[in-house]
Amino acid sequence: MTDMTPNIPEVLAEVTALFERYEKALAEKDVDVLDDTFWNSPLTIRYAMHENGYGFDEIHQHRVRRPKGPGIKEKRLRLEIMTLGRDFATTNLEFKIRDKDLIGRQSQTWVRFPDVGWKVVAAHVSTMDKAPLW
């Protein structure tokens, strides 16, 4: 049976460091690191704010076209990272959108592959109104 222990400290530390590396690369538009973060597969999916990337090649093309700049993240509000066992993790970030009254949400599904290590296999970025609807 596969060990699905949540948040093994050293695994959690690995994924946290990789997440922070990705966030830094996103802010600096370091396409090499951004590409290295995602699984190089036609099965990888990234739903972003203004496009959907189906497969690594489409995701890469978006990264190349994205202009340099401060990005949309003004301030982190909450980061939740959960690992299950030694080879699966999710990251979920809630943040304030720069210059707008919106909350951004970013989620990533990470898998550790025997040959290439930790990679994001699915990601999603979206917004919601700052005030609750109820």
Within-domain flag for 2: no
In angstroms, the CA 80 to CA 68 distance is 27
> Any alpha helices (H) in the chain, and if so which ranges?
9-28, 31-37, 56-65
Q: What does pLDDT average to over the chain?
A: 94
Within-domain flag for 1: no
* Mean of pLDDT values over 60-83: 91
* Structural domain boundaries enclosing 104: 9-129
- Residue 70: which pLDDT band, with cuts at 50, 70 and 90? confident
* Mean of pLDDT values over 26-53: 95
In angstroms, the CA 6 to CA 28 distance is 32
Within-domain flag for 3: no
Tally of domains in the chain: 1
Within-domain flag for 134: no
pTM (global) more than 0.85: yes
Q: What's at 65, amino acid-wise?
A: R
Within-domain flag for 49: yes
Within-domain flag for 25: yes
Within-domain flag for 51: yes
CATH number for the domain harbouring residue 66: 3.10.450.50
Within-domain flag for 124: yes
